[in-house]
Amino acid sequence: MSAELDRTPRNLLLCEQSSLLDEKNRLSAQVQQLHFSYKVSVLLPECSSAPSHLDSLLSSFSSFYLIRNLPIYELLDKDFLQKAVYPGGVYGLSYRTRIDEDNCVALMPNGHLCLSLDKDSFELLGFEGKPCRFNHRSRSRFVVSIDLTDSSMAPGGRGYLRLLAGLRSRLHLHTDFLLSHHPGGRACLQPLLLRYDWSEHTPEVSRCHLTNLSCPVLQSCDPHSLLEWLGTVDADVSRENSSSSFLSSLVCPDPNTTLSSALRVSVCGLLLPPDIHRLIQELRHYLERPLLGSWVSLTVHGFVDSPVSWGDSEHGVLRGGENFYTLLMFHDHSYQLHLATGAHDTCPP
């Protein structure tokens, strides 16, 4: 067996405990930091069907748009900058591009444009950048980060014209592109959408009712085992560890109990932090109702091939590309937050 495969990949896990009643808790700020999420999974113990208010909220996540073969220089269009980028709240990500092989692009709600480029593309672009921090000894990839709201990047300025010329005349970077905006929606994006082939999508909601679910005692379960158990529940992986199984040797951590019923709900798409924040608030209200479970869990998965993970921090992939967080909320308003990344990421905030 290869020595590379024999080693467990390094990962980073940051754990925090606080209360939603504490005015100094950092939960809202941390939720906003993961700009590009493709899936949120919710587990509701002792629940067979989602309450109507929660169901309505899950179905009201912001729609997003897939623009096919978008020239990246169009993100510098003056109308698009004025109506979407400068006011803030625009989220854009190249689609089906691989961060370890392809050129990848991200447009963040703070107006920052991030290009993760191979060496040849970086040299063609002819714009300032820096080597990818996860290149190790070989400089095969470069990161170009531009603040489009900076005065030096105003349309007509030297920096703007240099970047525009690089993207339009030398690099010719085109990609399928996911785009969304909060709270403006389509109106802010219309100048761009009208010029290209695009389709509108709404996040997909799925539900699964579980019975007789083995569940660890949360207060005595270590974070790694807890996240592993939640992952098996979300992926519907067997936790029986039977002698006839060659696929899974996972078991529910001890000590554990059995939930007579539980509801697993997931939402998939280009998911925006403001919608996830609304979901957290609704789950908080859900826990305040009598005769319901004493806790809920929410896990948010970032895109594996996004050029950034937390905030403007660089993201890379070697084996897994994980960047996610899991939030456990309890009926007394306390919470546990677990923020995790793979080997090619900086530490979460």
Q: How far is residue 284's CA from residue 281's CA, in Å, rounded to a whole number? A: 5
**Average predicted confidence (pLDDT) for the chain:** 89
C-alpha distance across the termini of the chain, in Å: 36
Q: What is the DSSP letter of 85?
A: I
Report yes or no: 99 and 321 within 8 Å, Cβ to Cβ. yes
Poorest-pLDDT segment among 37-41, 47-51, 57-61, 232-236: 47-51
Predicted TM-score (pTM) of the model is: 0.91
Which band of pLDDT confidence, cut at 50, 70 and 90, is reported for residue 50?
A: confident
The pLDDT of residue 1 is above 50: no
Burial of 243 (0-12, 13-18, 19+ CB in 10 A): exposed
Q: Is the dihedral of CA 221, 227, 230, 235 positive or negative?
A: negative
Collect all residues with Cβ–Cβ distance below 8 Å to 21 and sequence separation of at least 6. Answer: 333
Q: In the sheet where 37-45 sits, what is the strand order?
A: 12-19, 334-341, 323-330, 295-302, 37-45, 256-271, 204-216
Report yes or no: 125 and 158 within 8 Å, Cβ to Cβ. no
Q: What is the pLDDT of residues 298-327, one digit of tens each?
A: 999 999 999 998 888 888 776 667 789 999
- Helix boundaries (H) for the chain: 3-6, 27-33, 52-58, 78-80, 119-125, 158-165, 186-193, 223-235, 273-288
Q: Residue 43: what pLDDT?
A: 96
**201: which strand partners?**
64
Report yes or no: 312 and 112 within 8 Å, Cβ to Cβ. yes
Report yes or no: 345 and 315 within 8 Å, Cβ to Cβ. yes
Tokens of 295: 């806790």
- Per-residue burial over 194-232, b if 16 or more Cβ lie within 10 Å, else e, is eeeebeeeebeeeeeebeebebbebeebeeeebbbbbeb
Q: Residue 127: what pLDDT?
A: 96
Alpha-carbon distances of 36 from 95, 131, 151, rounded to whole Å:
12, 23, 26
Which amino acid makes up residue 117?
A: L
The pLDDT of residue 67 is above 70: yes
Q: What is the pLDDT of residues 69-126, one digit of tens each?
A: 999 999 999 999 999 999 999 999 999 999 888 999 999 999 999 999 999 999 999 9
CA 3 vs. chain centroid, Å, equals 31
Q: What share of the chain in percent tops pLDDT 70?
A: 91
Q: What share of the chain in percent tops pLDDT 90?
A: 67
Q: What average pLDDT does this structure show over 165-181? A: 96
Which amino acid makes up residue 185?
A: G
Q: What is the pLDDT of residues 320-345, one digit of tens each?
A: 677 899 999 999 999 999 998 877 77
Report yes or no: 69 and 176 within 8 Å, Cβ to Cβ. yes
Tokens of 48: 């067979």
